[in-house]
Chain A
């Protein structure tokens, strides 16, 4: 018996029986239950034929109606095959590997006795959910469709928003065994060729058996794997992906991923939210301000508390200081232990709440917050002020919508806590300065992380605050888009 791997690259035989036998071997029939091999003869042509498909990922009705029945009821002796069957003929293949790949993709192969090739008809129908509301990037104003696991749906959602022939969906097979397909999406008349080539090079250099989805792919192609800051943005909102595409960014889509990757990403793309632009100028900037405040509070408040109570007591007005020391009197731990205990407890509640089965989800929060906080205070393990501070820092962290930035901020917070415990304000400032040095020298696919704030590029200057929509005239210059002007100033 020939080895299957060598057989794979061989051309099929014109003898139908032999070919079927080999295909059966490939699919381990009858071990594999959902492989359907149907033999029949084409009337009119009077030839034996076989269709083979996987019924769990195909539309059986369509195969029955559009492929098999026309062949069975055919009377003409001259008609060509593609004219008999109304189903879409995708391709004809001669060797096994191509046939197998098409069958694996949910298509149907038709083999005819005496012909050394297989006709491939489109018939795929994968199971999946329909287009639903976004779960993570919730907005009040604006569209409420989200990407789902079916890439064709996702493409359709993007095409719906950009009706332009320059919108390209380039597909690349990125893994060898599972044949996962990645779609590189870009505007042909905007995206920078060098950037596109850089991304393609990184993807093509991968030699991996299987990459199931974008979350995994991201970790293969990102700039600095060990960095605390993310360099690729994920979004589940097609409207957000669209606005990035229209600015000259590049978007990646994949089957089985209910989101898209946007690259390159700057700090600002993580900080922003689509609602910032859907709201009016003032309102949009108001929520930006809130988000900035939340970011600062999450990062600094616990560390500030430690620094002030341990090193800089004189800062606090006397009355407040007395109040603090009165509540701290009964607590046996140093502030750093207190804060760390509560911070870790909060993180645990958060993680636990996330993993807990749905019906008891809400209760966990209440139990966590009420019982733990209240009981800890009553047991004199932590002071009430610490509960307030940790709760504030925890709550504020939810205002940072992007999950990756959220993680970065939550983790850096611990750096600040540690530095505050060791060195007070001096340590915190040192960590902050190092952080700034780090961020300004950080790149995502060649784009500086804090651009366009520094270094300067032509752009719409959308950083902490956004400008009036009419005056956002330029695409971000750091992407080197082929056309920098996106709107003319209206009078």
Chain B
């Protein structure tokens, strides 16, 4: 009878996997593929596999830590390992990074909606609606973000599957050659630089204590990881098959060009059949991002009911995200630089945590 009360506010395996897929998986449908094609050429799909391989280490270390400290999330672990002061600095850095990522991503998504679908609508309005819905979800809390993600997951995956199967039928298989793209060494170098694409797996540890158990968390992470890599590989092959190497590099948003390009039966323009599903996953994704931002902010500034930070954070994100419009550099370029910059953090931070835990002797209790 107590089982329900103790799981109140917690998410199960289904919800966790749904969150992971929507939050990381949505990246196949923004400008991430373009970054890959620029770095790896036709070998983009091998690139993501190498990134996956590189990321294995940090993800493995984090899940190890989570299973070690049952019922603790990344914030608790950082505070536990580094104490108040260094912990504060680390959390503050994470918080800034997370909020920056969010500003960067939301402004890119606003740009996608603005340039691809609603070219006459003012950016502010698009931005407001995007973050308004996301903030509504974020304020509800993680269990409802998870539930919503799960409710829609099937339909979103179905829409991606339909697109992929059409792409594989209509595309040219030969266009995936040369299979190694920019070449062996470049591949490894580029993969290393861009591995922060999976940085979300570090952030996911922030909600570890909201998952029913550490075992479920571990399971969810790996299921999500495999599905995401699969989605990335298939989409990255698909886009190249459809547009060829040169073509696909010209686009900022290959997914949206794809759904514009493909035809299904008598329907020549099908992009709007798929647009809503992409939108829903974006809404849920940013709801999760805002939630994480508020969670970190709350941890840094000791705000217990951090959900109340969400609206302010959303407004700040909109204001900050709108600035670059008039500025010389675009958010897309910024994202590439940013990704390269934070890669060492993603790769080294978990190692640092793990080593500290080891030195502290916490693993002995296992």
Contacts and interface: CB of A to CB of B under 8 A. Distances in A.
Contacts of B270: 315
A433 B137 contact: yes
B129 interface: yes
A440 B151 contact: yes
Interface in B283-303: 283-284, 287
Interface residues of B, number: 42
Nearest to B126: A426
Interface stretch (B34-42, B167-175, B274-282): B274-282
- Counting chain B CB atoms within 10 Å of each CB, the highest count among A311, A430, A455 belongs to A455
A432 B155 CA distance: 13
Given A426-B113, A434-B136, A312 B272 contact: yes
Interface string A427-457: 1111011101100110000001010011110
Contacts of B151: 436, 440, 450, 453-454
Contacts of A192: 1
B277 to A, nearest CB: 9
A441 B144 contact: yes
B1 A194 contact: yes
Interface string A127-153: 000000000000000000000000000
Given A424-B118, A426-B279, A437-B136, A317 B147 contact: no
A393 B125 CA distance: 30
Nearest to B120: A311
A441 B118 contact: no
B133 interface: yes
A308 B148 CA distance: 26
A429 B12 contact: no
Main secondary structure of the interface of A (DSSP, over half): helix
Nearest to B4: A480
A440 B276 contact: no
A311 B126 CA distance: 14
Contact of B147 (A424, A429, A432, A450): A450
A437 B148 contact: yes
B267 interface: yes
B280 A432 contact: yes
Interface extent on A, as a size class? Answer: 20 to 34
A358 to B, nearest CB: 43
B268 A317 contact: yes
A433 B280 CA distance: 6
A478 to B, nearest CB: 8
Contacts of B275: 425, 429
A450 B121 CA distance: 35
Contacts of B152: 436
Interface in B168-222: none
B283 A454 contact: no
B329 interface: no
B11 A432 contact: no
Interface string B139-174: 011011111101110000000000000000000000
A333 interface: no
Contact of A454 (B14, B126, B137, B140): B14
Nearest to B137: A437
Contact of B276 (A315, A428, A436, A453): A428
B363 interface: no
A426 B121 CA distance: 11
Contacts of A454: 14-15, 146-147, 150-151
Contact of B129 (A308, A430, A478): A430
Contacts of A456: 12, 14
Contacts of B141: 441
Given A426-B129, A426-B279, A455 B137 contact: no
A312 B118 CA distance: 9
Contacts of B146: 454
B249 to A, nearest CB: 26
Nearest to B144: A441
22 contacts: A308-B272, A423-B129, A425-B117, A425-B272, A426-B279, A427-B129, A428-B276, A429-B280, A433-B137, A433-B280, A433-B284, A434-B133, A434-B136, A436-B152, A440-B144, A440-B147, A450-B151, A453-B150, A454-B14, A455-B15, A480-B1, A480-B4
Q: Which 8 A-B pairs have the closest CB atoms?
A: A440-B147, A454-B147, A429-B279, A441-B144, A433-B283, A429-B276, A437-B137, A454-B150
